[in-house]
Structure 1
Amino acid sequence: MDMTGVESDDQKHVLFGYDGTSENDTALRWAIEEARLRGLDLVVCHCWHWPYPEGHEDPHGEAVMRRAGKNLLERGTRRARELGAAGAVRGRLVRGPARGALLRESRDAELTVVGAPERLDEGAGVLELAARSSRPMVVVKDGAGPRRVVAGADGTSWCDPALGFAAAEAALRRWELRVLYACWEPAAVDADELALFHDRELLEKTRAGELEAAVAPWRARYPELDIRVSLLLERPLEALFGAADDAGLLVLGDRGAGIAPLGSTSTAVLRRARRAVAIVPARPD
């Protein structure tokens, strides 16, 4: 199958959702770089949709819409080459509303990259994609920023997949990794931990131990990686807001993992962050 054809296989790849707009180029550049760093094919996916109710038949109209979708997909694969894609670039044309179709295609991808409008309250579909995906998804607004990956930790094993993704991404890009644990969450802890919030010194010591334990496996796996930890006696949302602008990539874990919507903190950060945000599901695929 040539690079502009329609294909379907089980080979691991980076999936990119292409919408044909010039604003999509920023996210496409990110997807191209992900594919290069990981040594994977880039699959440019475009979704075309027959918007009429079931039973409404118009073979000619349907064929016209499908052909328009194919032409747009071919433009997307060409654009990937123009922007510097060095490896295999393949096109995938799928039928259905973009949100559901892209979600189905993402299940076989190593990770998915999508662009986002500047105001995510105008892009509810992107939020739903990130919430329901069973694989990591990178949402790109602005691909610039410091050469730093920032990952949020919460002291539980739920954050392990997100930390693993962040460490691998930082190692691939040769960026610094900062792991941020904002631990002032008295309303979110079990009753037997409430006493910690009456003794800040004990709280800091306890949470620092949890943070180091969470990061230790990644220090061992990536000994040359510059990993810095930050323990803050702040609420997670406030801390992540503050860190977002200091990151080229912000990595967040999602406990819902395709079952529930994103947590309120992740949703708020994703809406506000100006650069790239990766959402990593907490459960295995």
Structure 2
Amino acid sequence: MRVQDDEQPVVVGFDGSPESRRALRWGVEEAHLRFIPLLVCHAWQSPYPMLSVTPEATDVVERMGRHVLDMGLIMAHDLAPRWPVRGRLVEGSPGAALVGASGIAEMIVIGPRGAGGFDELRIGSATLQAVAYSRCPVAVVREPGHPRADRVAIGVQDASLESAELGLAFEEARLRKASLLAICLCPEDCVDTREAAVRFNTNVAVWEEKYPQVQVETAVETSPHLEVLRHAADRSDLLVIPRRESDDPADLPVGPVCQALLREAPCTVLATPPHASGAAAR
């Protein structure tokens, strides 16, 4: 089977930081699992947005950006010598570059923070921007806080889960030969969860028929959502969640539960946009 260069790639944001190197390794693995190309993306911008910056100075900064991108490409080729890997050098902010690339990507992969910032920073502005506005799922790769669990988890804010999101979680579990923990998150004041549980398990059963090789565990929870998902992340290698708690256009681009998990989850978080895209979702 041959990887087609015209397939939508896994796009990795790379700036040479340890976090971006970890994201690149994860992205190479994801591209392998999906049998699609890898695109390494680096954004450069002049450090001083002033009219007095000379073309020569701008050229130096661009060449430095090219050097960083080349480092990422060398690392990708070392990890996957015969895999189709391309590079993209973009002028502008890292977050905007990744949002722009999301239109042609199967998935965006990025670290929780990039180069610079301060040691206590848990999530960077570029990562939040990518999660908030990307048109495809965004994987925020963290160093695991526990041994490999061979489990993917997905949190659902209510029983009317978008099939695309659930399909993405099943596909990730299949690709990784992992089990799937699917959690229906009912309102905390919900007294009777039976109706929600029936709808939820019916939805899950549809995907179980499509993915018979995936071992599935379901749960219906009325505990605080963040608490439930933190506990799920403690027992999983990958947590799939919507980037916001509802489809209301007035809501924040990234909901408070997603923001907290991006900062605190001890595993990689795959944040999905409304009506998630991707091969499993189509």
TM-score (norm. length: structure 2): 0.85
Distance in 2 between the 1:152 and 1:252 partners? 6
The AA in structure 2 aligned to 1:219 is E
Cross-structure match for 1:234: 223
2:193 to 172, 185, 204: 204
Deviation larger for 53-62 or 34-43: 53-62
The AA in structure 2 aligned to 1:131 is A
- Alpha carbons of 1:225 and 1:85: their partners in 2 closer, same or farther (altered >3 Å)? farther
The AA in structure 2 aligned to 1:181 is C
Distance in 2 between the 1:82 and 1:258 partners? 44
1:52 Cα deviation (Å)?
A: 3.6
Tell me the secondary structure at the aligned position of residue 89 of structure 2.
Answer: strand
In 1, are the aligned partners of 2:112 and 2:123 still within 8 Å (CA)? no
In 2, are the aligned partners of 1:132 and 1:258 still within 8 Å (CA)? no
Matched, 1:106 2:102: yes
1:26-37 equivalence runs, <5 A? 26-37=22-33
Distance in 2 between the 1:159 and 1:269 partners? 20
The AA in structure 1 aligned to 2:133 is R
Deviation larger for 230-239 or 63-72: 230-239
1:153 Cα deviation (Å)?
A: 1.5
1:149 Cα deviation (Å)?
A: 0.3
Matched, 1:180 2:183: yes
1:100 Cα deviation (Å)?
A: 1.1
Tell me the secondary structure at the aligned position of residue 60 of structure 2.
Answer: helix
The AA in structure 1 aligned to 2:132 is A
Matched, 1:168 2:157: no
Cross-structure match for 1:141: 142
Cross-structure match for 2:116: none
The AA in structure 2 aligned to 1:275 is C
Cross-structure match for 2:207: 218
1:265 to 257, 267, 275: 257
Tell me the secondary structure at the aligned position of residue 247 of structure 1.
Answer: coil
The AA in structure 2 aligned to 1:100 is A
1:115 Cα deviation (Å)?
A: 0.9
Deviation larger for 161-170 or 252-261: 252-261
Distance in 2 between the 1:249 and 1:176 partners? 11
Distance in 2 between the 1:114 and 1:172 partners? 20
Distance in 1 between the 2:247 and 2:70 partners? 32
- Alpha carbons of 1:257 and 1:129: their partners in 2 closer, same or farther (altered >3 Å)? farther
- Stretches of structure 2 lacking an aligned partner (at least 5 in a row): 114-118, 278-282
1:26 Cα deviation (Å)?
A: 1.6
- Alpha carbons of 1:10 and 1:100: their partners in 2 closer, same or farther (altered >3 Å)? farther
1:247 to 213, 223, 236: 236
- Alpha carbons of 1:277 and 1:99: their partners in 2 closer, same or farther (altered >3 Å)? same
Deviation larger for 125-134 or 112-121: 112-121
1:44 to 36, 40, 43: 40
Tell me the secondary structure at the aligned position of residue 15 of structure 1.
Answer: strand
2:13 to 17, 25, 44: 17
Tell me the secondary structure at the aligned position of residue 39 of structure 2.
Answer: strand
- Alpha carbons of 1:89 and 1:257: their partners in 2 closer, same or farther (altered >3 Å)? farther
Tell me the secondary structure at the aligned position of residue 211 of structure 1.
Answer: helix
* Higher Rg of the two aligned structures: 1
The AA in structure 2 aligned to 1:266 is C
1:40-119 equivalence runs, <5 A? 40-53=36-49, 55-84=51-80, 86-117=82-113
Summarize deviations over 1:164-217 as a string: whole Å, max 9, x none: 11111111111101101232433xxxxxxxxx52xxxxx132222022022122
In 2, are the aligned partners of 1:258 and 1:281 still within 8 Å (CA)? no
Deviation larger for 247-256 or 105-114: 247-256
| Paired-residue identity, % | 35
1:55 Cα deviation (Å)?
A: 4.1
The AA in structure 1 aligned to 2:254 is L
Give the number of the structure whose residues are more often helix, by fraction: 1
Distance in 2 between the 1:51 and 1:62 partners? 9
1:125 Cα deviation (Å)?
A: 2.6
- Alpha carbons of 1:145 and 1:153: their partners in 2 closer, same or farther (altered >3 Å)? same
Distance in 2 between the 1:228 and 1:178 partners? 5
Distance in 1 between the 2:200 and 2:97 partners? 38
The AA in structure 2 aligned to 1:40 is I
Distance in 2 between the 1:217 and 1:100 partners? 37
Cross-structure match for 1:281: 273
- Alpha carbons of 1:160 and 1:175: their partners in 2 closer, same or farther (altered >3 Å)? same
1:274 Cα deviation (Å)?
A: 1.8
